[in-house]
Structure 1
Amino acid sequence: MILFARALAALRAPASVTILALLGLVPPADAAPCPGQSDALGTARVMEVPPGARVGTKSFPQTLPLADREVVLTFDDGPWPTTTAAILDALKAECVRATFFLIGENARIRPELVRRARAEGHTIAHHSMTHPEATLAGLPFPAAVAEIERGIAADDFAAYGTVAGAPRIPFFRFPGFAATPALLDYLSQRGISVFGADLWASDWNKMTPEQELDLVLRRLDAAGRGIILFHDTKSQTAAMIPAFLRALAERGYHTVHIVPASATARPPN
Protein backbone atom coordinates (compact mmCIF):
# COMPACT_ATOMS: atom_id res chain seq x y z
CA MET A 1 0.00 0.00 0.00
CA ILE A 2 2.87 2.37 0.76
CA LEU A 3 4.31 1.66 -2.68
CA PHE A 4 1.02 2.45 -4.43
CA ALA A 5 0.54 5.60 -2.35
CA ARG A 6 3.94 6.83 -3.42
CA ALA A 7 3.18 5.90 -7.02
CA LEU A 8 -0.09 7.81 -6.94
CA ALA A 9 1.61 10.87 -5.50
CA ALA A 10 4.23 10.58 -8.22
CA LEU A 11 1.63 10.34 -10.98
CA ARG A 12 0.04 13.57 -9.77
CA ALA A 13 3.40 15.31 -9.72
CA PRO A 14 5.38 16.72 -12.67
CA ALA A 15 8.16 14.18 -12.11
CA SER A 16 5.79 11.23 -12.58
CA VAL A 17 7.52 9.88 -15.68
CA THR A 18 10.72 8.89 -13.93
CA ILE A 19 9.20 7.98 -10.57
CA LEU A 20 6.66 5.53 -11.99
CA ALA A 21 9.43 3.78 -13.88
CA LEU A 22 11.60 3.61 -10.78
CA LEU A 23 8.75 2.09 -8.80
CA GLY A 24 8.37 -0.65 -11.37
CA LEU A 25 4.81 0.26 -12.38
CA VAL A 26 5.71 0.32 -16.07
CA PRO A 27 6.13 -3.31 -17.13
CA PRO A 28 8.50 -4.30 -19.96
CA ALA A 29 7.45 -4.32 -23.59
CA ASP A 30 4.84 -6.78 -24.75
CA ALA A 31 6.48 -8.16 -27.87
CA ALA A 32 3.93 -10.85 -28.76
CA PRO A 33 3.66 -11.20 -32.55
CA CYS A 34 0.43 -10.60 -34.42
CA PRO A 35 -0.64 -13.89 -36.06
CA GLY A 36 -0.79 -13.67 -39.83
CA GLN A 37 0.43 -10.07 -40.04
CA SER A 38 4.12 -9.51 -39.47
CA ASP A 39 3.86 -5.76 -40.07
CA ALA A 40 0.91 -5.21 -37.70
CA LEU A 41 1.00 -2.23 -35.37
CA GLY A 42 0.53 -4.43 -32.30
CA THR A 43 0.54 -3.42 -28.64
CA ALA A 44 4.01 -2.33 -27.61
CA ARG A 45 3.59 -2.61 -23.85
CA VAL A 46 1.17 -2.65 -20.93
CA MET A 47 1.17 0.19 -18.41
CA GLU A 48 -0.26 -0.22 -14.92
CA VAL A 49 -2.07 2.82 -13.52
CA PRO A 50 -2.16 3.17 -9.71
CA PRO A 51 -5.47 3.74 -7.88
CA GLY A 52 -6.85 7.26 -7.76
CA ALA A 53 -4.70 8.69 -10.56
CA ARG A 54 -5.87 11.76 -12.50
CA VAL A 55 -4.36 11.98 -15.97
CA GLY A 56 -4.84 13.75 -19.29
CA THR A 57 -3.64 17.27 -19.91
CA LYS A 58 -6.97 18.46 -21.28
CA SER A 59 -8.25 18.16 -17.69
CA PHE A 60 -5.28 17.82 -15.33
CA PRO A 61 -1.73 19.15 -14.99
CA GLN A 62 -0.23 15.71 -15.68
CA THR A 63 -0.70 12.71 -17.91
CA LEU A 64 0.54 9.14 -18.23
CA PRO A 65 4.33 8.66 -18.39
CA LEU A 66 4.44 7.88 -22.10
CA ALA A 67 7.62 7.87 -24.11
CA ASP A 68 7.93 9.82 -27.34
CA ARG A 69 5.65 8.40 -30.06
CA GLU A 70 3.61 6.32 -27.63
CA VAL A 71 -0.18 6.55 -27.65
CA VAL A 72 -3.08 5.21 -25.60
CA LEU A 73 -6.24 4.67 -27.64
CA THR A 74 -9.55 5.31 -25.85
CA PHE A 75 -13.14 5.19 -27.07
CA ASP A 76 -16.16 6.78 -25.36
CA ASP A 77 -19.95 6.33 -25.35
CA GLY A 78 -20.33 2.78 -26.63
CA PRO A 79 -21.07 0.06 -27.16
CA TRP A 80 -23.02 0.91 -30.28
CA PRO A 81 -24.37 -1.33 -33.06
CA THR A 82 -22.17 -1.71 -36.14
CA THR A 83 -19.61 0.98 -35.27
CA THR A 84 -18.22 -0.65 -32.11
CA ALA A 85 -17.99 -4.01 -33.88
CA ALA A 86 -16.19 -2.42 -36.83
CA ILE A 87 -13.68 -0.76 -34.51
CA LEU A 88 -13.11 -4.03 -32.66
CA ASP A 89 -12.50 -5.71 -36.03
CA ALA A 90 -9.90 -3.10 -36.95
CA LEU A 91 -8.12 -3.33 -33.59
CA LYS A 92 -8.09 -7.13 -33.78
CA ALA A 93 -6.59 -7.07 -37.27
CA GLU A 94 -3.67 -4.98 -35.97
CA CYS A 95 -3.42 -6.75 -32.55
CA VAL A 96 -3.99 -3.45 -30.77
CA ARG A 97 -5.64 -3.20 -27.35
CA ALA A 98 -7.60 -0.11 -26.37
CA THR A 99 -9.74 1.20 -23.51
CA PHE A 100 -13.50 1.58 -23.87
CA PHE A 101 -15.27 4.03 -21.55
CA LEU A 102 -18.80 2.65 -21.65
CA ILE A 103 -22.15 4.27 -21.03
CA GLY A 104 -23.96 1.90 -18.68
CA GLU A 105 -27.25 2.14 -20.53
CA ASN A 106 -25.56 1.07 -23.78
CA ALA A 107 -23.68 -1.74 -22.03
CA ARG A 108 -26.91 -3.03 -20.53
CA ILE A 109 -28.59 -3.15 -23.95
CA ARG A 110 -25.60 -4.65 -25.80
CA PRO A 111 -23.72 -6.92 -23.39
CA GLU A 112 -22.48 -9.11 -26.23
CA LEU A 113 -20.30 -6.25 -27.50
CA VAL A 114 -18.96 -5.60 -24.00
CA ARG A 115 -18.09 -9.27 -23.57
CA ARG A 116 -16.44 -9.33 -26.98
CA ALA A 117 -14.28 -6.31 -26.15
CA ARG A 118 -13.24 -7.90 -22.85
CA ALA A 119 -12.55 -11.29 -24.48
CA GLU A 120 -10.29 -9.61 -27.05
CA GLY A 121 -8.18 -8.07 -24.30
CA HIS A 122 -9.47 -4.52 -24.18
CA THR A 123 -9.93 -2.57 -20.95
CA ILE A 124 -13.55 -2.02 -19.91
CA ALA A 125 -13.87 1.38 -18.22
CA HIS A 126 -16.75 3.64 -17.19
CA HIS A 127 -18.45 6.81 -18.45
CA SER A 128 -21.64 7.15 -16.31
CA MET A 129 -25.01 5.45 -16.72
CA THR A 130 -26.74 7.77 -19.21
CA HIS A 131 -24.23 10.51 -20.17
CA PRO A 132 -26.64 13.15 -18.80
CA GLU A 133 -27.26 16.24 -20.90
CA ALA A 134 -26.55 18.50 -17.94
CA THR A 135 -23.26 16.64 -17.27
CA LEU A 136 -22.47 15.27 -13.84
CA ALA A 137 -21.29 18.72 -12.75
CA GLY A 138 -24.80 20.02 -13.32
CA LEU A 139 -26.46 17.42 -11.08
CA PRO A 140 -26.83 17.45 -7.30
CA PHE A 141 -24.01 15.49 -5.71
CA PRO A 142 -26.13 12.44 -4.70
CA ALA A 143 -27.61 12.21 -8.20
CA ALA A 144 -24.18 12.45 -9.82
CA VAL A 145 -22.82 9.71 -7.55
CA ALA A 146 -25.80 7.53 -8.43
CA GLU A 147 -25.12 8.12 -12.16
CA ILE A 148 -21.51 7.00 -11.69
CA GLU A 149 -22.30 3.96 -9.55
CA ARG A 150 -25.20 2.77 -11.71
CA GLY A 151 -23.01 3.02 -14.78
CA ILE A 152 -20.20 1.02 -13.17
CA ALA A 153 -22.67 -1.66 -12.06
CA ALA A 154 -24.25 -1.92 -15.53
CA ASP A 155 -20.85 -2.12 -17.24
CA ASP A 156 -19.59 -4.79 -14.85
CA PHE A 157 -22.76 -6.86 -15.15
CA ALA A 158 -22.53 -6.72 -18.94
CA ALA A 159 -18.85 -7.68 -18.93
CA TYR A 160 -18.70 -10.24 -16.12
CA GLY A 161 -22.27 -11.26 -15.29
CA THR A 162 -21.92 -10.09 -11.69
CA VAL A 163 -21.55 -6.84 -9.78
CA ALA A 164 -18.97 -6.60 -7.01
CA GLY A 165 -18.61 -4.00 -4.28
CA ALA A 166 -15.92 -2.21 -6.27
CA PRO A 167 -15.50 -1.80 -10.04
CA ARG A 168 -13.47 -4.56 -11.68
CA ILE A 169 -11.62 -1.86 -13.63
CA PRO A 170 -11.45 1.33 -11.53
CA PHE A 171 -11.16 3.73 -14.50
CA PHE A 172 -13.65 6.56 -15.10
CA ARG A 173 -13.98 9.43 -17.55
CA PHE A 174 -16.41 12.27 -16.90
CA PRO A 175 -18.92 12.95 -19.69
CA GLY A 176 -17.82 16.20 -21.27
CA PHE A 177 -14.82 16.15 -18.86
CA ALA A 178 -17.17 18.00 -16.47
CA ALA A 179 -15.76 17.07 -13.06
CA THR A 180 -16.26 18.79 -9.73
CA PRO A 181 -13.89 18.79 -6.73
CA ALA A 182 -16.45 16.85 -4.68
CA LEU A 183 -16.85 14.15 -7.33
CA LEU A 184 -13.10 13.91 -7.85
CA ASP A 185 -12.66 13.44 -4.11
CA TYR A 186 -15.39 10.79 -4.09
CA LEU A 187 -13.72 8.82 -6.87
CA SER A 188 -10.31 9.16 -5.23
CA GLN A 189 -11.71 7.73 -1.98
CA ARG A 190 -13.06 4.81 -4.02
CA GLY A 191 -9.63 4.25 -5.58
CA ILE A 192 -10.98 5.06 -9.05
CA SER A 193 -8.62 6.70 -11.53
CA VAL A 194 -10.00 9.56 -13.61
CA PHE A 195 -8.99 9.96 -17.25
CA GLY A 196 -9.05 13.07 -19.33
CA ALA A 197 -7.25 13.07 -22.68
CA ASP A 198 -4.21 14.69 -24.23
CA LEU A 199 -5.76 15.13 -27.66
CA TRP A 200 -8.94 14.20 -29.41
CA ALA A 201 -10.30 13.58 -32.88
CA SER A 202 -13.20 16.05 -32.48
CA ASP A 203 -15.35 13.32 -33.98
CA TRP A 204 -18.48 14.84 -32.45
CA ASN A 205 -18.24 17.25 -35.40
CA LYS A 206 -19.48 16.24 -38.83
CA MET A 207 -16.57 15.38 -41.14
CA THR A 208 -15.47 12.69 -43.55
CA PRO A 209 -13.24 9.82 -42.39
CA GLU A 210 -10.44 11.34 -44.47
CA GLN A 211 -10.84 14.72 -42.77
CA GLU A 212 -10.84 13.09 -39.33
CA LEU A 213 -7.72 11.08 -40.17
CA ASP A 214 -5.88 14.18 -41.29
CA LEU A 215 -6.98 16.14 -38.22
CA VAL A 216 -5.99 13.56 -35.62
CA LEU A 217 -2.65 12.80 -37.28
CA ARG A 218 -1.76 16.49 -37.39
CA ARG A 219 -2.65 16.85 -33.72
CA LEU A 220 -0.71 13.72 -32.80
CA ASP A 221 2.37 14.74 -34.76
CA ALA A 222 2.29 18.10 -32.96
CA ALA A 223 1.92 16.48 -29.53
CA GLY A 224 4.27 13.56 -30.16
CA ARG A 225 2.48 11.22 -27.72
CA GLY A 226 -0.61 11.01 -25.55
CA ILE A 227 -4.01 9.65 -24.60
CA ILE A 228 -6.26 9.96 -27.66
CA LEU A 229 -10.03 10.25 -27.39
CA PHE A 230 -12.36 8.79 -30.03
CA HIS A 231 -16.04 7.83 -29.92
CA ASP A 232 -16.98 4.33 -31.03
CA THR A 233 -20.51 5.57 -31.68
CA LYS A 234 -19.40 7.58 -34.73
CA SER A 235 -19.55 6.03 -38.19
CA GLN A 236 -16.82 8.32 -39.53
CA THR A 237 -14.49 7.12 -36.75
CA ALA A 238 -15.28 3.47 -37.40
CA ALA A 239 -14.51 4.00 -41.08
CA MET A 240 -11.29 5.90 -40.30
CA ILE A 241 -9.72 3.62 -37.67
CA PRO A 242 -8.14 1.03 -40.02
CA ALA A 243 -6.27 3.76 -41.91
CA PHE A 244 -5.34 5.46 -38.65
CA LEU A 245 -3.78 2.27 -37.25
CA ARG A 246 -1.84 1.76 -40.46
CA ALA A 247 -0.65 5.37 -40.32
CA LEU A 248 0.55 4.90 -36.74
CA ALA A 249 2.64 1.93 -37.80
CA GLU A 250 4.05 3.72 -40.82
CA ARG A 251 4.97 6.80 -38.75
CA GLY A 252 6.71 4.83 -36.04
CA TYR A 253 4.15 5.23 -33.26
CA HIS A 254 3.60 2.55 -30.61
CA THR A 255 0.42 1.74 -28.69
CA VAL A 256 0.32 1.28 -24.92
CA HIS A 257 -2.43 -0.69 -23.21
CA ILE A 258 -3.51 0.64 -19.80
CA VAL A 259 -4.68 -1.59 -16.94
CA PRO A 260 -5.13 -1.09 -13.19
CA ALA A 261 -2.01 -1.49 -11.06
CA SER A 262 -1.20 -5.16 -10.36
CA ALA A 263 -3.88 -6.33 -12.79
CA THR A 264 -1.25 -8.04 -14.95
CA ALA A 265 -0.25 -10.15 -11.94
CA ARG A 266 -3.81 -11.34 -11.21
CA PRO A 267 -5.61 -14.15 -13.04
CA PRO A 268 -8.48 -13.00 -15.31
CA ASN A 269 -11.85 -12.59 -13.56
Structure 2
Amino acid sequence: MGQQKPTLEVFWRAAKTVLSVAAGLLQPLLPGPAAARSPSCAPDALGVSRTLYLGTEGGWRAGLKSYPQTLALDDHEVILTFDDGPLNSTTGKILDALAAECVKATFFLVGRNAEASPALVKREIAEGHTVAHHSYSHPGATLRRLSEKAALAEIVKGFTAVDKAGYGAAGATPRTPFFRYPGFADSPETLAWLAQNNIAVLGADLWASDWQPMTPQAELDLVMDRLDKEKRGILLFHDTKAQTAAMLPALLRELKQRGYRIVHIAPGGEPPPLRAAPPGWTSETDKIIANVFAKEYGARPARRPALAPAPMGAR
Protein backbone atom coordinates (compact mmCIF):
# COMPACT_ATOMS: atom_id res chain seq x y z
CA MET A 1 0.00 0.00 0.00
CA GLY A 2 1.12 3.61 -0.62
CA GLN A 3 2.10 5.89 2.27
CA GLN A 4 -0.93 7.41 4.01
CA LYS A 5 -1.42 11.15 3.42
CA PRO A 6 -0.97 13.43 6.45
CA THR A 7 -4.23 14.48 8.02
CA LEU A 8 -5.30 18.06 8.80
CA GLU A 9 -4.71 17.31 12.48
CA VAL A 10 -1.07 16.44 11.79
CA PHE A 11 -0.57 19.67 9.87
CA TRP A 12 -2.16 21.64 12.73
CA ARG A 13 0.10 20.06 15.38
CA ALA A 14 3.15 20.83 13.27
CA ALA A 15 2.05 24.41 12.77
CA LYS A 16 1.51 24.92 16.49
CA THR A 17 5.00 23.58 17.18
CA VAL A 18 6.56 26.02 14.71
CA LEU A 19 4.61 28.94 16.16
CA SER A 20 5.61 28.02 19.70
CA VAL A 21 9.30 27.89 18.79
CA ALA A 22 9.06 31.19 16.94
CA ALA A 23 7.36 32.86 19.90
CA GLY A 24 10.15 31.71 22.20
CA LEU A 25 12.80 33.09 19.89
CA LEU A 26 11.05 36.43 19.47
CA GLN A 27 10.11 36.98 23.13
CA PRO A 28 13.38 38.72 24.13
CA LEU A 29 12.86 41.19 21.29
CA LEU A 30 9.32 42.14 22.26
CA PRO A 31 8.55 45.18 24.47
CA GLY A 32 7.88 44.59 28.15
CA PRO A 33 4.48 45.10 29.77
CA ALA A 34 5.12 48.78 30.52
CA ALA A 35 5.61 49.47 26.82
CA ALA A 36 2.60 47.45 25.70
CA ARG A 37 -0.16 49.25 23.85
CA SER A 38 -3.68 48.83 25.19
CA PRO A 39 -6.13 47.36 22.67
CA SER A 40 -8.45 50.28 23.42
CA CYS A 41 -5.96 52.85 22.14
CA ALA A 42 -6.22 54.25 18.65
CA PRO A 43 -3.65 53.01 16.12
CA ASP A 44 -2.18 56.50 15.89
CA ALA A 45 -1.92 57.02 19.67
CA LEU A 46 1.28 58.62 20.93
CA GLY A 47 2.22 55.64 23.10
CA VAL A 48 5.54 54.97 24.84
CA SER A 49 8.65 54.79 22.72
CA ARG A 50 10.79 53.02 25.33
CA THR A 51 11.04 52.40 29.07
CA LEU A 52 14.15 52.95 31.16
CA TYR A 53 14.27 50.47 34.06
CA LEU A 54 16.59 52.44 36.31
CA GLY A 55 18.67 51.09 39.14
CA THR A 56 19.24 53.54 41.98
CA GLU A 57 22.43 52.31 43.62
CA GLY A 58 24.30 55.26 45.08
CA GLY A 59 21.31 57.58 44.88
CA TRP A 60 22.12 59.43 41.66
CA ARG A 61 20.59 62.82 40.83
CA ALA A 62 19.23 64.06 37.53
CA GLY A 63 17.58 67.21 36.20
CA LEU A 64 19.36 70.28 34.84
CA LYS A 65 17.20 72.77 36.74
CA SER A 66 18.98 71.62 39.91
CA TYR A 67 21.88 69.32 39.06
CA PRO A 68 24.77 69.38 36.59
CA GLN A 69 23.57 66.20 34.91
CA THR A 70 20.37 64.66 33.63
CA LEU A 71 19.09 61.48 32.01
CA ALA A 72 20.59 61.02 28.57
CA LEU A 73 17.60 61.23 26.27
CA ASP A 74 17.78 61.18 22.50
CA ASP A 75 16.62 64.06 20.34
CA HIS A 76 12.85 64.62 20.68
CA GLU A 77 12.49 62.29 23.68
CA VAL A 78 10.38 63.45 26.64
CA ILE A 79 9.70 62.13 30.13
CA LEU A 80 6.39 63.32 31.62
CA THR A 81 6.26 63.88 35.38
CA PHE A 82 3.50 65.21 37.65
CA ASP A 83 3.86 66.55 41.19
CA ASP A 84 1.73 67.15 44.29
CA GLY A 85 -1.18 64.78 43.68
CA PRO A 86 -3.33 62.96 43.79
CA LEU A 87 -6.32 65.29 43.81
CA ASN A 88 -9.84 64.05 43.12
CA SER A 89 -10.88 66.97 40.94
CA THR A 90 -7.95 66.83 38.52
CA THR A 91 -5.82 63.69 38.72
CA GLY A 92 -8.52 61.49 37.20
CA LYS A 93 -8.70 63.79 34.17
CA ILE A 94 -4.91 63.60 33.82
CA LEU A 95 -5.08 59.81 33.90
CA ASP A 96 -7.91 59.77 31.33
CA ALA A 97 -5.85 61.88 28.92
CA LEU A 98 -2.78 59.68 29.34
CA ALA A 99 -4.82 56.50 28.87
CA ALA A 100 -6.39 57.79 25.67
CA GLU A 101 -2.92 58.13 24.15
CA CYS A 102 -1.36 55.02 25.77
CA VAL A 103 1.16 57.25 27.52
CA LYS A 104 2.85 56.45 30.84
CA ALA A 105 4.08 59.09 33.28
CA THR A 106 5.76 59.36 36.67
CA PHE A 107 3.73 60.81 39.55
CA PHE A 108 5.57 62.28 42.55
CA LEU A 109 2.93 61.99 45.26
CA VAL A 110 2.48 63.99 48.45
CA GLY A 111 1.89 61.48 51.23
CA ARG A 112 -1.12 63.12 52.86
CA ASN A 113 -2.81 63.48 49.45
CA ALA A 114 -2.22 59.78 48.83
CA GLU A 115 -3.85 59.02 52.20
CA ALA A 116 -6.84 61.13 51.21
CA SER A 117 -7.28 59.53 47.75
CA PRO A 118 -5.96 55.95 47.84
CA ALA A 119 -8.19 54.90 44.93
CA LEU A 120 -6.35 57.29 42.63
CA VAL A 121 -2.98 55.95 43.81
CA LYS A 122 -4.12 52.42 43.06
CA ARG A 123 -5.41 53.52 39.66
CA GLU A 124 -2.05 55.09 38.78
CA ILE A 125 -0.30 51.84 39.64
CA ALA A 126 -2.88 49.65 37.86
CA GLU A 127 -2.56 51.71 34.67
CA GLY A 128 1.20 51.25 34.53
CA HIS A 129 2.40 54.64 35.74
CA THR A 130 5.33 55.03 38.11
CA VAL A 131 4.30 56.20 41.57
CA ALA A 132 7.16 58.04 43.29
CA HIS A 133 7.58 60.35 46.28
CA HIS A 134 7.42 64.07 47.09
CA SER A 135 7.47 64.23 50.94
CA TYR A 136 4.50 63.83 53.27
CA SER A 137 3.09 67.35 53.50
CA HIS A 138 5.06 69.47 51.00
CA PRO A 139 6.05 71.88 53.81
CA GLY A 140 5.93 75.54 52.90
CA ALA A 141 9.33 76.12 54.48
CA THR A 142 10.72 73.35 52.21
CA LEU A 143 12.94 70.58 53.53
CA ARG A 144 15.97 72.85 53.29
CA ARG A 145 14.62 75.10 56.04
CA LEU A 146 13.71 72.22 58.38
CA SER A 147 16.12 70.57 60.78
CA GLU A 148 17.78 67.42 59.49
CA LYS A 149 15.63 65.28 61.81
CA ALA A 150 12.39 66.96 60.74
CA ALA A 151 13.28 66.82 57.05
CA LEU A 152 14.10 63.11 57.17
CA ALA A 153 10.89 62.44 59.09
CA GLU A 154 8.95 64.23 56.31
CA ILE A 155 10.60 62.07 53.66
CA VAL A 156 10.10 58.75 55.43
CA LYS A 157 6.52 59.52 56.43
CA GLY A 158 5.80 60.31 52.78
CA PHE A 159 7.27 56.99 51.65
CA THR A 160 5.08 55.14 54.14
CA ALA A 161 1.87 57.01 53.30
CA VAL A 162 2.20 56.52 49.53
CA ASP A 163 3.05 52.82 49.75
CA LYS A 164 0.22 52.11 52.20
CA ALA A 165 -2.23 53.93 49.94
CA GLY A 166 -1.06 52.20 46.80
CA TYR A 167 -0.12 48.73 47.98
CA GLY A 168 -1.81 48.33 51.35
CA ALA A 169 1.45 48.15 53.30
CA ALA A 170 4.83 49.82 53.53
CA GLY A 171 8.22 48.21 54.03
CA ALA A 172 11.56 49.42 55.28
CA THR A 173 12.31 50.98 51.90
CA PRO A 174 9.97 52.60 49.36
CA ARG A 175 8.57 50.45 46.55
CA THR A 176 9.75 53.05 44.05
CA PRO A 177 13.09 54.58 45.14
CA PHE A 178 12.55 57.86 43.25
CA PHE A 179 12.23 61.13 45.18
CA ARG A 180 11.65 64.75 44.16
CA TYR A 181 12.19 67.57 46.63
CA PRO A 182 9.30 69.94 47.34
CA GLY A 183 10.26 73.18 45.64
CA PHE A 184 13.47 71.41 44.53
CA ALA A 185 14.97 72.66 47.83
CA ASP A 186 17.41 69.91 48.77
CA SER A 187 20.06 69.93 51.50
CA PRO A 188 23.43 68.23 51.93
CA GLU A 189 22.19 66.12 54.86
CA THR A 190 19.08 64.76 53.14
CA LEU A 191 20.94 64.22 49.86
CA ALA A 192 23.52 62.15 51.73
CA TRP A 193 20.80 60.12 53.48
CA LEU A 194 18.99 59.41 50.21
CA ALA A 195 22.25 58.35 48.56
CA GLN A 196 23.08 56.02 51.46
CA ASN A 197 19.67 54.42 51.05
CA ASN A 198 19.98 54.08 47.26
CA ILE A 199 17.14 56.49 46.48
CA ALA A 200 17.48 58.53 43.29
CA VAL A 201 16.62 62.23 43.21
CA LEU A 202 14.72 63.42 40.15
CA GLY A 203 14.65 67.09 39.34
CA ALA A 204 13.48 68.43 35.97
CA ASP A 205 14.90 69.85 32.77
CA LEU A 206 11.84 71.86 31.77
CA TRP A 207 9.03 73.50 33.74
CA ALA A 208 5.46 74.01 32.65
CA SER A 209 5.28 76.85 35.21
CA ASP A 210 1.71 75.74 35.87
CA TRP A 211 1.86 77.12 39.40
CA GLN A 212 1.20 80.44 37.67
CA PRO A 213 -2.42 81.09 36.62
CA MET A 214 -2.79 80.92 32.83
CA THR A 215 -5.17 79.53 30.25
CA PRO A 216 -4.67 75.96 28.99
CA GLN A 217 -3.70 77.37 25.58
CA ALA A 218 -1.11 79.69 27.14
CA GLU A 219 0.37 76.78 29.07
CA LEU A 220 0.49 74.64 25.94
CA ASP A 221 2.24 77.40 23.99
CA LEU A 222 4.73 77.96 26.81
CA VAL A 223 5.59 74.26 27.16
CA MET A 224 6.00 73.67 23.44
CA ASP A 225 8.12 76.78 23.03
CA ARG A 226 10.47 75.64 25.78
CA LEU A 227 10.55 72.07 24.51
CA ASP A 228 11.23 73.07 20.91
CA LYS A 229 14.26 75.03 22.13
CA GLU A 230 15.69 72.20 24.23
CA LYS A 231 14.51 69.31 21.98
CA ARG A 232 14.31 66.83 24.88
CA GLY A 233 14.02 66.54 28.63
CA ILE A 234 12.23 65.71 31.87
CA LEU A 235 9.04 67.80 31.91
CA LEU A 236 7.47 68.93 35.18
CA PHE A 237 3.70 69.43 35.56
CA HIS A 238 1.30 69.36 38.52
CA ASP A 239 -1.69 67.04 38.36
CA THR A 240 -3.38 69.26 40.95
CA LYS A 241 -3.80 72.10 38.45
CA ALA A 242 -7.08 72.39 36.52
CA GLN A 243 -5.40 74.26 33.67
CA THR A 244 -2.91 71.40 33.22
CA ALA A 245 -5.66 68.79 33.20
CA ALA A 246 -7.51 70.79 30.54
CA MET A 247 -4.35 71.32 28.50
CA LEU A 248 -2.96 67.78 28.53
CA PRO A 249 -4.99 66.19 25.68
CA ALA A 250 -3.86 68.97 23.32
CA LEU A 251 -0.26 68.65 24.51
CA LEU A 252 -0.17 64.93 23.77
CA ARG A 253 -1.56 65.54 20.27
CA GLU A 254 0.99 68.31 19.70
CA LEU A 255 3.85 66.10 20.84
CA LYS A 256 2.75 63.44 18.38
CA GLN A 257 2.41 65.94 15.54
CA ARG A 258 5.87 67.43 16.13
CA GLY A 259 7.59 64.07 16.28
CA TYR A 260 8.27 63.84 20.02
CA ARG A 261 8.49 60.42 21.66
CA ILE A 262 7.58 59.46 25.23
CA VAL A 263 10.13 57.73 27.44
CA HIS A 264 8.82 56.13 30.62
CA ILE A 265 10.99 55.55 33.69
CA ALA A 266 10.51 52.76 36.22
CA PRO A 267 12.59 51.06 38.93
CA GLY A 268 14.88 48.36 37.63
CA GLY A 269 18.47 47.24 37.42
CA GLU A 270 19.90 49.32 34.58
CA PRO A 271 22.59 51.90 35.36
CA PRO A 272 21.04 55.31 34.66
CA PRO A 273 22.22 56.79 31.35
CA LEU A 274 23.40 60.25 32.37
CA ARG A 275 24.73 63.19 30.39
CA ALA A 276 26.61 66.12 31.86
CA ALA A 277 25.30 69.67 31.78
CA PRO A 278 26.67 71.98 29.09
CA PRO A 279 29.65 74.24 29.91
CA GLY A 280 28.75 77.21 32.06
CA TRP A 281 25.85 75.42 33.77
CA THR A 282 24.48 76.86 37.01
CA SER A 283 21.59 75.72 39.20
CA GLU A 284 18.53 77.77 38.31
CA THR A 285 16.62 76.49 41.33
CA ASP A 286 19.35 77.56 43.77
CA LYS A 287 19.11 81.11 42.48
CA ILE A 288 15.32 81.14 42.80
CA ILE A 289 15.34 79.57 46.28
CA ALA A 290 17.99 82.02 47.52
CA ASN A 291 15.92 84.96 46.30
CA VAL A 292 12.72 83.60 47.85
CA PHE A 293 14.38 82.98 51.20
CA ALA A 294 16.00 86.41 51.11
CA LYS A 295 12.58 88.03 50.76
CA GLU A 296 10.96 85.85 53.42
CA TYR A 297 13.72 85.80 56.00
CA GLY A 298 15.66 88.95 55.21
CA ALA A 299 18.92 87.15 54.53
CA ARG A 300 20.33 84.94 51.86
CA PRO A 301 20.74 81.41 53.19
CA ALA A 302 23.92 79.52 52.49
CA ARG A 303 23.84 77.68 49.20
CA ARG A 304 24.24 73.97 49.28
CA PRO A 305 27.63 72.72 48.08
CA ALA A 306 27.93 72.46 44.31
CA LEU A 307 27.65 68.93 42.98
CA ALA A 308 30.23 67.94 40.42
CA PRO A 309 28.93 66.37 37.19
CA ALA A 310 28.98 62.58 37.32
CA PRO A 311 28.20 61.10 33.89
CA MET A 312 28.07 57.32 33.83
CA GLY A 313 31.51 56.99 32.26
CA ALA A 314 33.01 58.62 35.34
CA ARG A 315 31.02 56.78 37.96
- 2:234: which partner in 1? 227
Percent identity between matched residues is: 59
- 1:147: which partner in 2? 154
Alignment of 1:29-44 (within 5 A): 32-35=36-39, 36-44=41-49
**Are 1:53 and 2:60 an aligned pair?**
yes
Letter in 2 for 1:134: A
- Deviation, structure 1 residue 33: 3.7
- Deviation, structure 1 residue 53: 1.6
**Are 1:211 and 2:228 an aligned pair?**
no
Matches of 1:28 and 1:219 in 2, distance apart? Answer: 34
> Where does structure 1 lack aligned partners over 5 or more consecutive residues?
1-26, 264-269
SS in 2 for 1:248: helix
Cα contact 1:170–1:260 (8 A) shared by 2: yes
Matches of 2:222 and 2:55 in 1, distance apart? Answer: 32
- Deviation, structure 1 residue 127: 0.2
Deviation digits for residues 157-212 of structure 1, max 9, x if unmatched? 00100111110000000000000111101000011000100001000000000000
- 2:124: which partner in 1? 117
- Deviation, structure 1 residue 59: 0.6
How many pairs does the alignment contain? 237
SS in 1 for 2:66: coil
- 1:183: which partner in 2? 190
- 2:84: which partner in 1? 77
With over 3 angstroms needed to count, the CA separation of the structure-2 counterparts of 1:252 and 1:28, relative to structure 1, is farther
Letter in 1 for 2:91: T
Matches of 1:113 and 1:199 in 2, distance apart? Answer: 26
- Deviation, structure 1 residue 29: 6.1
Cα contact 1:49–1:259 (8 A) shared by 2: yes
Which structure is larger by alpha-carbon Rg, 1 or 2? 2
Letter in 2 for 1:227: I
Q: Normalised by the size of structure 2, how large is the TM-score?
A: 0.73
Deviation digits for residues 2-43 of structure 1, max 9, x if unmatched? xxxxxxxxxxxxxxxxxxxxxxxxx98666444240110001
Cα contact 1:104–1:128 (8 A) shared by 2: yes
- 1:99: which partner in 2? 106
Deviation digits for residues 59-102 of structure 1, max 9, x if unmatched? 10110111110000000000001210000000000000000000
Aligned-residue Cα RMSD (Å) equals: 1.5
* Moved beyond 3 Å, runs of 4+: 27-34
Matches of 1:76 and 1:189 in 2, distance apart? Answer: 24
Q: Normalised by the size of structure 1, how large is the TM-score?
A: 0.86
Matches of 1:212 and 1:247 in 2, distance apart? Answer: 13
